[in-house]
Structure 1
Amino acid sequence: MQFLPLEQLNIDEKILKILKDRGIEKLNPVQTEAINKGLLKDERLLVTSPTGSGKTLIAELGIISHLLNKGGKAIYITPLRALTSEKFSELKVWEKLGYKVGMTSGDYDTDDAWLKNYDIIISTYEKIDSLWRRNPSWLKEVDYFVLDEFHYLNDPHRGPVVESVAVRIRYKNLLALSATIQNYEEISKWLNATPVTTDWRPVPLKEGVIIPEKKSSYKVIFSNNESINIKGNDAILAYVNYVLQHGGQVLVFRNSRKIAESTARKIASNMGLFKMDKELEKISNEIKEVDDAGTTEKEDLAELVRSGVAYHHAGLSKGLRDIIEKYFIQRKIKVIVATPTLAAGVNLPARSVIVGDIYRFNRQILGFNEEIPIMEYKQMAGRAGRPGFDKEGEAIIVVRNKSEADRVFKKYILSPPEPIESKLGNEASFYTFILGIVSSEGRVTSDEVEDYAMGTLLDKDIVKSYLKKGLNWLRDNEFIAGDDDLVLTKFGKRVADLYINPFTAKTFKDYLTRNEKSCNVAYLHLCAYTPDGPRVSVSRNEMYDLVDLSPCPLFIEEPDDEDEFYNYVSALKVGMIINDWIEEVDEDIILGRYGIGSGDLRSIIDTMDWLTYSGFNISRVLDLKEHAEAFYILNLRVKDGIKEELIDLVKVPGIGRKRARLLFENNIKKPEDIIMNVDKVKSLLGSRLGEKVAKDAARIIAGNA
């Protein structure tokens, strides 16, 4: 394996200094091969290598060398907002060379004109896809694209968007980065890129299984034929203890939130030696002070971290997740028990990874009986081994017996991940793709749309079949007009700009055009029932109780199909959650009443904010004035979780639902009242905040004058 000293690189001295200031003296084998394959000369590359092998630095060198040599702008694209924030922090270092680094994600109904002043932009695939539809002038200046975590092309949910973005830039300056891709030759050919592929890792990885051997003991067998025997009554607890005794940290992956939480509690109860640690006590107190989390969550985690243990999943608030990640990186929290989302979301290595389950829940066949993909296991295992701390990382899978161990070894440890395939092969994804092409081009012939579609990874016969059906469907439902020359209708343009699924738009259109105005729950249920709506699990007890609790007739009739009825009730549960939210029900009560976490609530609010805004715009473009009015008020209330009477107050920065209610109950009901009662506002909110709020209120009034 070749390591390349920085001095041998033909790059600007200022770049060398920045790299050396970061402690980088030489490039590792992956980075060296990328250089040898033309990274600094704008060669199009597909780099596939394990997690933690330094792919971000490859992207940085590619971006900076391009900007220095050619000018223009560069975009670094990630699949997740958490990764976008992480990469933004890392790339900010290049502002030392005078380049401005910006970040954008979310809020799809804008062209982000302010980015014209930035040189390096970090964003998500969805945001870039939405920007292409609006065609801002600054986007034409971007001539270098980094496609990070490119194996997300295989993800059923995000894959279609990743592919849509890749299709547009297959002939531009491109650098795709990915974990190991089995069919990298096929994918690199599709991207018109040179493959750079290696299994090199900065910390070697041992993979194995843990098997019950005899009473109170387990055997760990690794792929290199090493084995160890450990004692204990539970495989996970036994291996956690083993790692901690040898000075390591552990990531445990479980297949559900409840199991992750209960496993964390079991581990914590077994770790009395950390109970009196003063630093852990400080972390516990910090958790109690988090603003965006429910009381029960905070109390539970505050107790756990006293033992050096935490759980981590999407149900937790961002504030809680940030604290857990921060102190795990600082090695103060020793064990995290997580759901698999953590494996893809953030760079959080540990010496040892324990994969507690190779099965996940499948509602269609009712149970934890669907085996996870190999790629998902590889993502989890890839977190094992901390550069600078560990000589090697260990990833083990918990199995029940020897026969299962043999099968698991063969499938997950000795086999490569599944080949990457197109995920555009369904109506919703493909029709969205066509709509996006017509939107970004403005006017396009059906032959040009076919050229774009033939540039996807889909089988060409499937493309032809979907293309004909898709164009007819989009015409029939008034998204596009024209036979050979295709343009968006006014309705189609608004849908494309909103970045909603065309089937979501059709759902809005179908139900709103044939129904009169109804109550808030009916509108919220309609939003949640669309293909873009948030999904929540529904227990058997809730199935019919929720239907009985609906305060008014819904726009949508109860379906007869069992699966569709589940979706119907799930949407109703979301509607009830948001209705409680806008009626200012206390957050702790909402979390307890519906069995959700604060992270779930925030995610539901964000999605329903977008969908009520979309409902308003769809109603307006269809000239449905009463529905537009209802959606407009609803959208203003959803974002902050307020009754209608507080809408004016929350327009003032720094005033949320709780402060607005406090002011309202003290007869301060609009921004003008704040200006007229500054001393009273200061006494209610505190002197410093009250002063700031008064100034912001004055600015709002002046802006409306």
Structure 2
Amino acid sequence: MEVAEVLPEFADAFAFEEFNRMQREALPALLESDENVVASAPTASGKTALAELAICKALADGGTALFIAPLRALTNEKEDDWDRFEDLDYSVYVVTGERDLNPRRARHADILVMTPEKLDSATRKHDSRRYDFVTDVDVCVIDEVHLLDADRRGSVLEVTISRLRRLCDPRIVALSATMPNVDDVAAWLDAPAETTFEFGEEYRPVDLNAGVKTYTHGENTFADKYRRLYRALDLAEPHLREDGQTLVFVSSRQDTVQAAKKARDEIAERDLEIGPRGDYDFHAESKDKLENDTLRKSVLDGVAFHHAGLSKNDRDLVEEWFKEGRIELLFSTSTLAWGVNLPARCVVIRDTKLHDPLEGEVDMSPLDVLQMLGRAGRPGYDDVGYGWVVCDTAEADKYRRLLRDGKEIESRLAESLETHLNAEIAMGTITDLEDVMDWLETTFYYVRGQSRPEEYDFPNLRGRVRDCLEDLVDRGFVEMDDADLSIEATARGMLTSKYYLRLETAARFADLCDRVGEDGATLETGDILEAVATAQEFDSVSARQSERDAIDAVLVGHDTGDLDAGDRKVLAILRSGANGSVPPELRSDAWVIRRNATRLVSALGAFLDRFAGPHAANLARRVEARIENGVAEDAVGLVAIDGVAAGRASKLSKEGLSTPGDVVAAGVEGLVDAGLSDGVAEGVCESAQSLPAIDLEWGQFPDAIETGENEVREVTVKNVGEAARAGIRVTVNGVEMTSTNTYLRDTETVPVGVFGADADVLEFTVNVAFPEEPLVPIAETRTVRVE
């Protein structure tokens, strides 16, 4: 069945000309029906085409399609793959982080691509102008729906799909690798039997011979990696000698590089003839095109590595050369298993455990293992593919059972029920206990609980829900009316949901706000850094022995109290990152930790703004900007200027320009003298002028006052830049007299009481801070003698 015959107007949207057997059988359900569809099929059997068929039907009907990709690294790949739709005048838009979001493009896109986490965040804010596009979806394609069973991410996918269905009721098309309980997923999504498909192994384009191989476990984990590598090469060798390709999955980006280096030496030792050494055209091509020096040397021996840290150019070349057979041995992280269709005759999983910066050492998920092994076998080239799991003898039976029986998909909602319940209450979709039960009935948790009532403690479900609600009330996230048992979110609960926080973290942030609100309490940068470093999101971070000295060196002179080793590691990364100088020993985890920390500091800033005032929020905003950009404390205000990041801020600061006001005063000529080009200087100067800028006019403020006398004078706060929300605080001898939170368009008059107290000198300070900008507060002081 040819694509052009079935969908003539979309023929160019597909990467092939004919549908295979599996695609043909699913085609009527996708194109001739509006029912929800669930399809389970072996890896590499062509499930992506089912997604594209559903998208084509939605586009043909004038609708909008949403594709949920399992990993953030894969969303951009989809954008590239679907240039084919762009060529047909349909727009594809990947919805990424908060600051990069273009709501207008999202609103007008024909195909949206999002991760479950991003969709969760967007649906929580669906009633805002920024995210209203999410309620205008006609079909939602869930790629790899078996991720429902993934730690933490699974519950996010589950509640988000349930929420999306309540918001706009799109058609759902859920695709999955082989799973035994596909009927449970179909029941959850209301897919009838005629549009539920369970394609068995007979639909695999190449048979799979999968097994488990053990190695002798030693005391040294570093040496163990090489034991597993040699075991992997033993399994790959017979295929490599027959010009068959092997794909080896390892646990980290760094391991792909190290394993490839070691494998090249070992291949030479074993006298294995692979690689295009004599191909001078390839030699020249790789030299000219590859950006990574290590990769350039490696591919000449037929060995390569692939991970998300490589440039897109290098990843694309590795994939192309592997498909052409020029690369015969490829080391990769698990991302490749979920993304590009890159099969090999032999697949070996060298590492079944991995280091997660936020979780420490964790087992690779069973879903990942099955996904990787599914890459074994090259359609059109092999009759059988070989897949091996290399593991310690103690774990061999576990993996044998997985390969024999597969993995039933379970709900993970119970593990984080309180967090998701709080989010629904904050959105206003749950207002009493009955609403909670109605909501639960829309979840996979409810369906799976009916299948396995004892394992899910289903008979006690109502009691479990009541306990969750009472706990949310006791901890200040929810308020309940005793008279009618109605429930609504508190400000704490609303902020927790909006900023995607764990409840324990939100409670700690609220405690810090309470302490700041006490008389005489001041907030320091260290308080913010410690509150974030001890957030529950970082609870599983561990410090390796090799990192301890670097952590101690960063934290010397800072009181870290009774923080544990993991908290101290996070704190060291935040402190050093804020100064732009993370020690080499900590860099492997620093990127993930800093990215999560900026989100948490932003959330803490919102808590402080709501419960402690704009000055505290401004400090958090400055700390956030420093962690994100790695810029000195006195120059942090420069990054508020569009076009100024860490490098440019450092350059300007060294030339004595440390604030946007300095930049405006210097003008284009002064910025050119500071080392910027003419064009850049013009843009930076213009951007600096678009920020708020303060002039304080003290008027007829006295120099002296007699004891016992009182006068009220006025200080004018004038904003000569762009309007912005501001906090204006007046103190005398360090004690707050007045505090105002205002939207400062032009001027604000602040009354200041001058009184003849029992002090010899009164020091009045007017301090203006902007809670939403990382600008250093403006403060001016006047001294009055008491005579």
- Structure-1-length-normalised TM-score: 0.79
* Paired letter, 1:64: C
Aligned partner of 2:375 in structure 1 is 383
Aligned partner of 1:486 in structure 2 is 487
CA offsets 1:513-545 (integer angstroms, 9 cap, x no match) = 236546544422321322223854312465698
Aligned partner of 1:174 in structure 2 is 172
Residues 334 and 61 (structure 1 numbering): CA distance in 2 closer, same or farther, change over 3 Å?
A: same
CA distance in 2, matches of 1:388, 1:699: 57
Q: Does 1:139 align with 2:144?
A: no
CA distance in 1, matches of 2:141, 2:463: 32
Contact 1:46 1:177 (C-alpha < 8 Å) held by counterparts: yes
Q: Does 1:513 align with 2:525?
A: no
CA distance in 2, matches of 1:77, 1:164: 14
Aligned partner of 1:87 in structure 2 is 78
Give 1:394-409 correspondences, 5 Å limit.
394-398=386-390, 407=397
Aligned partner of 2:44 in structure 1 is 52
Residues 189 and 105 (structure 1 numbering): CA distance in 2 closer, same or farther, change over 3 Å?
A: same
CA distance in 2, matches of 1:666, 1:306: 48
CA offsets 1:591-622 (integer angstroms, 9 cap, x no match) = 5232x42xx33222211111111111111112
CA distance in 2, matches of 1:197, 1:116: 35
Residues 276 and 208 (structure 1 numbering): CA distance in 2 closer, same or farther, change over 3 Å?
A: same
- Structure-2-length-normalised TM-score: 0.72
For residue 184 of structure 2, the aligned residue among 170, 174, 186 is 186
Aligned partner of 2:579 in structure 1 is 583
Give 1:264-283 correspondences, 5 Å limit.
264-271=260-267, 279=282
Q: Does 1:336 align with 2:358?
A: no
Aligned partner of 2:699 in structure 1 is none
Contact 1:650 1:660 (C-alpha < 8 Å) held by counterparts: yes
Q: Does 1:634 align with 2:637?
A: no
For residue 615 of structure 1, the aligned residue among 595, 601, 604 is 604
SS for the counterpart of 1:79 is coil
Q: Give the C-alpha shift of residue 485 in structure 1.
A: 3.0
Q: Does 1:252 align with 2:248?
A: yes
CA distance in 2, matches of 1:233, 1:251: 12
Residues 616 and 211 (structure 1 numbering): CA distance in 2 closer, same or farther, change over 3 Å?
A: closer
Contact 1:453 1:463 (C-alpha < 8 Å) held by counterparts: no
CA distance in 2, matches of 1:501, 1:337: 36
Give 1:345-494 correspondences, 5 Å limit.
346-358=340-352, 374-387=366-379, 392-398=384-390, 407=397, 410-413=400-403, 415-426=404-415, 429-441=416-428, 444-458=431-445, 459=449, 460-461=458-459, 463-483=461-481, 484-494=485-495
Residues 547 and 134 (structure 1 numbering): CA distance in 2 closer, same or farther, change over 3 Å?
A: same
SS for the counterpart of 2:413 is coil
CA offsets 1:125-168 (integer angstroms, 9 cap, x no match) = 11111122112343332232111111110001201101102323
CA distance in 2, matches of 1:663, 1:307: 47
Residues 308 and 38 (structure 1 numbering): CA distance in 2 closer, same or farther, change over 3 Å?
A: closer
CA offsets 1:374-424 (integer angstroms, 9 cap, x no match) = 4332111112234566565332334789x998x5784244x1322111101
SS for the counterpart of 1:42 is coil
* Paired letter, 2:75: T
Please report the RMSD computed on the Cα atoms of aligned residues, expressed in angstroms. 3.8
Say how many residue pairs are matched: 637
For residue 525 of structure 1, the aligned residue among 519, 522, 530 is 530
Contact 1:280 1:308 (C-alpha < 8 Å) held by counterparts: no
SS for the counterpart of 2:387 is strand
CA distance in 2, matches of 1:679, 1:240: 64
Q: Give the C-alpha shift of residue 649 in structure 1.
A: 3.2
CA distance in 2, matches of 1:109, 1:655: 16
Residues 482 and 195 (structure 1 numbering): CA distance in 2 closer, same or farther, change over 3 Å?
A: same
Residues 638 and 211 (structure 1 numbering): CA distance in 2 closer, same or farther, change over 3 Å?
A: closer
CA distance in 2, matches of 1:529, 1:281: 52
* Paired letter, 1:318: G
Aligned partner of 1:695 in structure 2 is 683
Please say which of residues 159-168 and 622-631 is displaced more in the overlay: 622-631
Which has more radius of gyration?
Answer: 2
Aligned partner of 1:552 in structure 2 is 558
CA distance in 2, matches of 1:580, 1:163: 38
* Paired letter, 1:376: D
Q: Does 1:30 align with 2:27?
A: no
CA distance in 1, matches of 2:327, 2:507: 49
SS for the counterpart of 1:106 is coil
* Paired letter, 2:542: S
Residues 139 and 546 (structure 1 numbering): CA distance in 2 closer, same or farther, change over 3 Å?
A: closer
Residues 166 and 461 (structure 1 numbering): CA distance in 2 closer, same or farther, change over 3 Å?
A: farther
Whose relative contact order is higher, 1 or 2, with alpha carbons under 8 Å and at least 6 apart?
1
Residues 379 and 626 (structure 1 numbering): CA distance in 2 closer, same or farther, change over 3 Å?
A: same
Q: Tell me which protein shows more helix as a share of its residues.
A: 1
Contact 1:547 1:569 (C-alpha < 8 Å) held by counterparts: no
Q: Does 1:165 align with 2:153?
A: no
CA distance in 1, matches of 2:638, 2:241: 56
Gaps of 5+ in 2: 216-227, 269-273, 450-457, 692-720, 723-787
For residue 60 of structure 2, the aligned residue among 52, 65, 68 is 68
Residues 620 and 461 (structure 1 numbering): CA distance in 2 closer, same or farther, change over 3 Å?
A: farther
SS for the counterpart of 1:444 is coil
SS for the counterpart of 1:89 is helix
Contact 1:671 1:698 (C-alpha < 8 Å) held by counterparts: no
Contact 1:582 1:642 (C-alpha < 8 Å) held by counterparts: yes
CA distance in 1, matches of 2:608, 2:229: 61
Aligned partner of 1:216 in structure 2 is none
Q: Taking every aligned residue pair, what percent have the same amino acid on both sides?
A: 27
For residue 6 of structure 1, the aligned residue among 3, 12, 21 is 3
Aligned partner of 1:601 in structure 2 is 590
